[in-house]
Amino acid sequence: MSDLGHVLVLAGGLSYEREVSLRSGRRVGEVLRAAGIPVEIRDTDASLVPTVLADPPDAAFVTLHGGSGEDGAIRSVLELLSVPYVGAGPDACRVAYDKPTAKAVVRSVGLRTPDSVTLPKETFHDLGASKVLSRIVERLGLPLFVKPSQGGSALGASVVRTAEELPSAMVGCFAYGDTALIERFVEGVEVAVSVLDLGEGPVALPPVEIVPDGGVYDYAARYTAGHTEFFAPARLSPEVAAACAEMAVTAHTALGLRDVSRTDLIVDSDGLPHFLEVNVAPGMTETSLLPMAVEAAGDDLGTVCRVLLEQAAARGTV
């Protein structure tokens, strides 16, 4: 039996990923209730603070994606309210949420990550878009991958295979954020490695291989059943799988993360993994990667969520 008498699951928010967050929250609520834990699912609106003050939960599970859910803001509020929560603290979230900063941190500890350029929208316009983009192609080559420097669910992200496609990719990117991250695109096998710390240090779960039917793991491929084929565990040699696991745990540790994270990688034709980004609030929907990895490891998602909450409650807001 668990000592958890009142658990709060935060879902929704006002980011572009609201609908996905609501689905994640419902899933976490379902598996926790099945595990015998009383759950309250709440959005992050003006009623949240007075409700929490009136009836403080034992711990909170944050399933907010994008925006304040992953940039540390909501976690800062939870700490102000003395509510323990699952996951990384505000400072680590701010670093991990900004993709160029996260890349710099993992590169500093020796991880392989694609060469890239970070370009704010103002600079893109002020210096002359065509001249800047021409130079990017000269430096990084083709193909490229363009994505917002913050956010997830592949919103605003696209593959660029010709120089003529780059301007429209930048416009699409800037629709979801003010800064673009333009990376050298690495052809290979897309893999996600979730990391859990259930009290004995961070451990990588089996890698999940992602094979979208259109070749690109975009928003529709992520959240529409049947649009992507998943292999859990991934079809990798033991040596490559071990390298992916090591990269994910190293990234988790270097970025100061806690409890749970998911690292997205590309394994190139030589079997070398490349770090792409890390997620501090991994999706928990029916098509999300962390639940697949938990199942592939032979674990129960409800039990994992319960243990994470119990750890958070015991830890408090430290």
DSSP 1-29: ------EEEE---SSTTHHHHHHHHHHHH
Q: Are residues 137 and 68 in the same domain?
A: no
Whether 279 has a binding-site annotation, put simply, is: yes
The CA-atom distances, in angstroms, between 183 and each of 21, 52, 115, 159 are 27, 42, 6, 10
What pLDDT, in 10s, does the model give residues 197-221?
A: 999 999 999 999 999 876 666 656 5
Domain presence at residue 307? no
CATH of the domain at 269: 3.30.470.20
Say whether both 180 and 192 belong to one domain.
Answer: no
On whether 183 is known to bind a ligand per the annotation, the reply is no
Report phi then psi at 12, rounded to 5.
110, -105
Residues 218 and 277 in one domain: yes
**Domain final residue pick, 184, 215, 230:** 184
Give the contacts of 175 (CB within 8 A, at least 6 positions apart). Answer: 156
> Is the domain of 54 the same as that of 18?
yes
Number of structural domains, the chain?
Answer: 3
- 266 is a domain residue: yes
Report pTM. Answer: 0.92
Q: Any idea what the CATH number is for the domain that residue 87 is in?
A: 3.40.50.20
CATH of the domain at 141: 3.30.1490.20
Please tell me the predicted confidence (pLDDT) of residue 150: 87
The domain boundary residue, chosen from 169, 184, 199:
184
HSE-up (13 A, CA, CB side) for residue 215: 4
For residue 111, is it within any domain? no
* Active site residues per annotation: 17, 153, 288
Classify residue 108: in a domain, yes or no. no
Residues 168 and 203 in one domain: no
Task: Decide if pLDDT at 189 tops 80.
Answer: yes
d(CA 145, CA 218): 12
Residues 162 and 222 in one domain: no
Q: Which pLDDT score, from 0 to 100, does residue 153 have?
A: 59
Annotated ligand binding at 264? The verdict is yes
pLDDT digits (tens, 9 = 90+) for 125-145: 666 677 888 999 999 999 999
Does residue 315 fall inside a structural domain?
no
Average pLDDT over residues 164-185: 92
Question: What is the span of the domain harbouring residue 179?
Answer: 116-184
Residues 36 and 129 in one domain: no
Residues 52 and 86 occupy one common structural domain: yes
For 68-104, the pLDDT digits (tens) are 778 999 999 999 999 999 999 999 999 999 999 999 9
Q: Are residues 130 and 89 in the same domain?
A: no
Does 180 lie in the same domain as 277?
A: no
